[in-house]
Every structure is written in C-alpha cells, then in structure tokens.
Amino acid sequence: MAENKKDMIRLERESVIPILKQKIITTLANLIGSDAEREDFLNLCQRVEHTVRAWYLFQFEDLMELYSLFDPANGPQKLAQQDLCPEEIDKLEQTFLKYLFRVMEKSNFKIATEEEVDIALSGQYLLNLPISVDESKLDKKLLKRYFEDHPQENLPDFIDKYVIFRRGVGIDRTTDYFFMEKVDMIISRLWSFLLTFTRIDELFSVKPSKCHKKNTKKNNEITADDCEEQNELYVERLRIENMELSLQNLMSKTTIQEPIFERIIVVYRQASTESKTERGIYVKHFKNIPMADMEIVLPEKKNPGLTPMDWVKFVGSAIIGLVAVFGSVEMPKADLWVIFAVLSTVIGYCAKTYFTFTANLAGYQNLITRSMYDKQLDSGKGTLLHLCDDVIQQEVKEVIISYFILMQRGKASLLDLDLRCEELLKEEFGETCNFDVDDAVQKLEKLGIVSQDALGRYSCMSLKQANQKIGTTIEELILLARQSKGPAD
C-alpha cells in the first residue's frame, strides 16, 4: 500500500494538566462509593489546596515585591525611593529573574529551544512576511548575565535579548478562498519550473545557514502509520503551497492548519540610552499563537520590507529577461512568441513580487492588530498573578490525582504510578499529558501522607489519617468563625 507522505511536526507531550481543578475533584469524588469516604476526600482536597497556597505565599509576595521595582510603568519611581547603588539593583533584578524562572518552571512553561524555534519558523501560516527584531532597541546585558550564572542547553541565539516561554499545544484552522495566496502559489511554481528548465536557479541558490540546523523533529517523510507506532504527539501542517493543483481546489474554499502554542510569555528589557538607564522588565502574555506565525510576539519588530534576496531576484529577473529579449531580436529569425513568453514571465514575476508584498503587508498589519486585542492576555503584574495562580492549580491537581490512584490501587512504584495517573486522565477526562509524577510524589511526601517501602513502592494513608496529618487549616478556622457569628452578624 502506498504511503501517504505529509508535512508533520512531532511535539513532546506537555506536563500541564489542562482540566479544571474543580472538575477533577468532582469526577474523582463521584468514583468513590462510600458517602463518608467521599466527604473525607472532598475535605482532603480542600486542605491540600490551602496548604499548597501557604507554601507559596511568601515566595509569591517576594516575587511581586521585586517586580514592583522593575515594573516599566512605576518601577523607576520606587527604585529612586530605595536609593540603591547600581550593583545592588543588578543583584535585585537577577534575584527577580531567578524567582520568575522558577515560577515559570512550576507552571510548566518551557523556554523555546533553538530546535523548536527552527521548527516553528520552517513554515508559513497567516503571516507571509520576513519579520526581524531591531536588536539595537533591546538590552543585551540583563539576560546574558542570568544565563551565564544559570546555563542551559540548546538555547536560541537571541537568548541574551529576549526569552520566549511556551506551554501547551493545540491546532488552529482557517478556512477561506485564499485567492491571492493561490495565485502566488501558481506563479511561484511556474517561475520555479522556468528557472529549473533554464538552469537559472543555480545562480540564485543559497547554501543553508549554519545557524539553522536541519531539525530532527520535522520530517516530511513521516507517514500516518509512523505516527501511530510512536508514543508522541504529531500534528500535520496544511499549507497552500503544498496543495494539489486542480480547478476545484483553486475555486473553492481551502482549510489550512497549523499547530499553536496555547500560551507564550515573552520577557525582555529595552535598551538604555545615553540620557536614561533602562531598568524596566517587560513580561507579556499571549494565547493561541500559531507556530509558523510566532514572529508576532517578538519585541521591537522592524517594519517589514522586501528582503535583499527578493531584490536580487527582482532585479536579476529583469536583467535576464531583457538580455533574453535582445538576444532573440538579434537572431536572424526572431520568434515573436518566444519574446512574448519571456517578457510575460518576467513582467508576471515582477508584478507577483510587488502585489504579493503589498497583500502580505496589509495582512501583517491586520495580524498585529488582532494579536494586540485578541491574542495578548496580559502583561506585567497581571501576567505574574496568572502565573502564581497557575502554579497552585497545577500543584493541587497533581497531588489529588496521584493520591487518588494510590488510594484506589494500593502500593505502586513510581513508574506504575506515573502510568496509572496518565491512564486516569485519558479514560475519565479524554486528555493526554506527560504527568509529572516526581513532583507529585515530592509534594505528597512533604504533606506526610505517603510512605515508601524497602522495594521503592509508594502507599498512602487512609483518608481520615491524611486529614488528621494535614490538620485544620487557617482557612477552615476562619470559615468556622464566620459561621459561629450567625447570619444576623
């Protein structure tokens, strides 16, 4: 049977649990037969959340207090009141980054690596213009100093200027006629055929850049059977340039598809000037960003224009066309049809380059406007508050799920617990994730409600014992105090 080769991207499964905490608690509670045990389980879930919040309370307060000094809006005034020397400020901003990156990790955000950026930018979706960053407007000291003290592998080249964190993957589909894109695709294929036929394409060939290594996660030779055999998440890219040429496809609506990063956070600082030392740190939060259009979240973008290679092709095509025309005219028997074909091709290519750029520029401006209103969730302090809540929600969900499995199954090794937690999420909620069992067990041990035997297997306390071990929380005491006052008060 013939293999169906597709443009596929292989993605790692995320550790984030996308299900609402309350849905997890309600669903798992309904799986418990005894009413008394169900009540104890709900009480335990409440105490676990209160305890986890207490663990992170001071860390989050320190994070927010530090950010108040580097908030681009109000930070300069607060820094001036502190009367700190530059070395002390440098130390404080590195401490802030340390806290911020730790919260990012706990929220299951990952730094986009060089390989992931190459994969994301290896295709085009709605954004069809080359977008670049004006590096002269970005600070290069803050993040460079941090990663010198906290080195990591496979970091992108721009890591000293800005950091892109990503979390969660999904799929975005857009259906439209895409008339301009289809015309552009037809002209590009005709022009490519002409260049190949005349061997002119060898003049324009460019050796691949060393900085853009061949990615190992993107493979156009992957078949549907391969995707089922490997325990990975595969997403197919559906693009106009890969569509089959037919009258029906050209005249009907077409659906294109691209994997998305569900959440992206960008951290950067603007460059200082001679008159002002910049200390503000920007933290911007975006949602549902197509991988191929990841450039829309970049800071300090330059206004797009034709690339040097576009100009070379543009001017070179005109020169080659004119040379071909004059050469045909000087021949004893000039073929008017050949002259007409050459001129039409050259003029068509030049017109295609201009109109494509104009259309792409309008699309880019529309996309940037939409990203500001639809795609950007928050920035600054609002983003940090989102992160702090995400940490608590994820931690609580991991504890509840892992405890429930141990309660239902009895003793389990770390690997077995990991597999059973992932099976539970798949069977009960229809979600697939890479459950972070190590972190979950660490929190269970910190709560003191699990133990490990000599064979390395984990077991949990009963619900009553676990509730007694955690004890009455401050939130419960406050609630009891309010209830004791009565409705009249």
Regions of the chain where pLDDT drops below 70: 1-5, 128-129, 191, 194-195, 197-232, 304-373, 486-489
Contact 5, 22 (CB under 8 A): no
Dihedral angle sign, alpha carbons of residues 27, 33, 36, 37:
negative
Q: Looking up tokens 């906290």, which residue turns up?
A: 150
**Tokens for 377?**
């969730």
What pLDDT is stored for residue 328 in this prediction?
56
How big is the CA angle at 347 (ends 203 and 195), to the nearest 5 degrees? 30
Q: Which residues contact 367 (CB under 8 A, 6 or more apart)?
A: 126, 127, 293, 296
Q: How many CA atoms lie within 13 A of 438 on its CB side?
A: 3
What pLDDT is stored for residue 294 in this prediction?
86
Average pLDDT score over the chain: 81
